[in-house]
A = this chain, B = another copy of it.
């Protein structure tokens, strides 16, 4: 059973036990475009105590650079190197793990943030935001010349998803089984300020269904994301805590990587989902209402 934090000493113990703090963003730091109460103060306090603070998001529509702008806008201190998005992790996976040869290209279902990360990693790509593929015109294989250099298909959240993109990605993957099938993350839904919309996992679902084959998934809860973080920041899993609002992504991600986990209720998960007979089998180490609860640690200066 998860330990419910409530007393000041509970939070003090947390501060003592963990040197590296990984945070999911939406539903933990902010909700849509609204900062969650106390978050800024808590993050500043953790930094003042010498803690490493890293941000881990499955959002693949934004590059780290444009994600950083969001932190700036909300007044949260963050360095680009502290932000790990699934688009960035996908690009790192393609260059470092898949080692896609330089003459090969990626066919992208995704948005400009994904393209920016691929470009920064020196990876050639087609599809994505190209006008040719952003169309509702009928698609016919007869009027299309596949690019023989496509060596991978990468699919993330794409709000311009259409039949042409799906058909091309399907054709690349079907014609040549050596073409890698990658998805930035498998989130079923995408939280917006006005409610849930279909997520990256839903956008790639047609390919999975048409091919009868599962992709390599990069983002949380998969370990690929943690491998990517470890490559840039050294940390001791035993003294690292993952703070998140989703059991099947954030908490599972932390657990799979041997980290401690803290679930907050400012996002997707309701408190009822972790108690009672129908409770999720994914049990966080700790739970607290909000990251803002850690303000109790901040002793007012005289």
Residues on A facing B (Cβ under 8 Å)? 134-136, 138-142, 158-163, 166-167, 170-171, 174, 188-189, 192-199, 201-203, 205-210, 212
Contacts and interface: CB of A to CB of B under 8 A. Distances in A.
Nearest to A188: B210
Given A163-B197, A188-B209, 6 more contacts: A141-B197, A159-B163, A163-B198, A202-B207, A205-B205, A205-B208
Contacts of A203: 206
A126 B142 CA distance: 32
11 contacts: A134-B136, A139-B159, A141-B195, A142-B193, A160-B163, A161-B163, A166-B198, A167-B198, A198-B210, A201-B209, A203-B206
A209 B35 CA distance: 30
A194 B142 CA distance: 6
Nearest to A136: B160
A38 B166 CA distance: 36
B197 A167 contact: yes
Contacts of A161: 161-163, 166
A195 B171 contact: yes
Contact of A206 (B140, B198, B210, B212): B198
A136 to B, nearest CB: 5
A198 B211 CA distance: 9
Taking each of A162, A195, A209, which has the highest tally of chain B beta carbons within 10 Å of its own beta carbon? A209
Copies in the assembly, this chain = 2
B197 A170 contact: yes
A194 B162 CA distance: 19
A254 to B, nearest CB: 22
Contacts of A136: 134-136, 160, 162
Contacts of A162: 136, 160-162
Nearest to A212: B188
Contacts of A197: 139, 141, 163, 167, 170
B159 A202 contact: no
Which among A161, A171, A207, A210 has the greatest number of chain B C-beta atoms within 10 A? A210
A210 B195 CA distance: 13
Contacts of A134: 136
A192 B160 contact: no
A161 B139 CA distance: 12
A141 B188 contact: no
A216 to B, nearest CB: 17
Given A202-B209, A205-B205, A205-B206, A194 B140 contact: yes
Contact of A202 (B139, B194, B210): B210
Contacts of A194: 140-142
B189 A210 contact: yes
A20 B209 CA distance: 34
Contacts of A201: 209-210
